[in-house]
Amino acid sequence: MKIITCAGYYRTGSSAISDFFSEFENCKSLGDFEVRFLQDPDGISDLEYNLIENNHRHNTSHAIKRYKKLVNFLNGTWYAPRYRKYFGNMFMKCSLEYIDKITELQCKSWWHRDQIDRGSWFYFFDRVYAQFVGVFQKERFNISMLQNESAYFTHITKEEFYKYTRQYLQEIFNYANENDDDYMMIDQLVPPSNINRYLNYFDDIKVISVERDPRDLYVLEKVKYRWGIIPYKDVETFCEWYRITRTHRKYEKDDTNKVVRIYFEDLIYRYEETSNMLINFIGLKKENHTLKKEFFNPEISIKNTRVYLTYPELKADVEYIEKHLEEYLYGLPSKD
């Protein structure tokens, strides 16, 4: 099974890619559900940093504990199923097996970071506990409610880390591919930056990074979404945020056999050209596109483009964006 994923920068339209590949008969799609445990803080990428790139006696244990905590949250509950909705019990099962594989020693051990991670109230009561118990003990050192805390130590090689990670991901995603389709579309597996790092975690993956005209991004956030992730209250801050989050593209070099970058607008104003490019890039065939335009219809999605033209009261802000983010503006195809 080959993995397809899309990456975006918040509201840039990467879900259009999920919709597009949902139209292929031999592609299993998880829809717009975001599977982010590789890229988010405390995820697989952070494990690689702490176990491989900056391994020391405290980093490994702390990183593995944080990963276990993340996995436990992502696994979900009966009222908020999260990953178990798509991967059943396999996500937790495979995650615990993966942690066992990358851990060489588990033993009773703790240090002050274990107290800090439990919060200031725990730290306070743990000190009170130590003072109280110390009254009745001759040995007053290292008294803590964390005496039974476990620590994880490892010094596996980079090659071993990649091998175990690939096996882990393959097991999880195979479970969700109940019809054994040739391809699986998974939203947001990797970020749009530092993509080459994440390619090491897969035997076969293709990444489509999606950008959007900053004028529409700003206006839509300001007048419609207002999630608070994108700074929209003043155009100067928005432009600086946009520039900073895209700076990586000036020096990073993509593996063009595995990574392609497009604009959301390409899927609308250059639909046939872009869809053919994506089909060839992934290795699909046109005859597999049996539900064409049923999930992603450019005639409908065009309403979400050039939105900035419908808000004349934001003209000054739009002109500021055009001046300071000129290189990121989307150019419409000529009518010739």
pTM of the model: 0.90
In this structure, the answer to whether residues 89 and 118 fall within a common structural domain is: no
Exposure on the CB side of residue 52, measured as CA atoms within 13 A: 15
Are the C-beta atoms of residues 137 and 143 closer than 8 Å to each other? yes
In this structure, the answer to whether residues 60 and 79 fall within a common structural domain is: yes
pLDDT, one tens digit per residue, over 45-65 is: 999 999 999 999 889 999 999
Say if 72 falls within a structural domain. Answer: yes
In this structure, the answer to whether residues 60 and 139 fall within a common structural domain is: no
Question: Based on the structure, what is the number of domains in the chain?
Answer: 2
In this structure, the answer to whether residues 173 and 268 fall within a common structural domain is: yes
In this structure, the answer to whether residues 127 and 199 fall within a common structural domain is: no
In this structure, the answer to whether residues 295 and 202 fall within a common structural domain is: yes
pLDDT of residue 163: 99
Residue 167: which domain range? 2-108+152-213+258-304
Per-residue pLDDT of the chain (336 residues; tens, 9 = 90+): 999 999 999 999 999 999 999 999 999 999 999 999 999 999 999 999 999 999 998 899 999 999 999 999 999 988 888 999 999 999 999 999 999 999 999 878 766 677 667 767 666 666 666 666 665 666 655 666 556 677 889 999 999 999 999 999 999 999 999 999 999 999 999 999 999 999 999 999 999 999 999 999 999 999 999 888 999 999 999 999 999 999 999 999 999 999 999 999 999 999 999 999 999 999 999 999 999 999 999 999 999 999 999 999 999 999 999 999 999 999 987 654
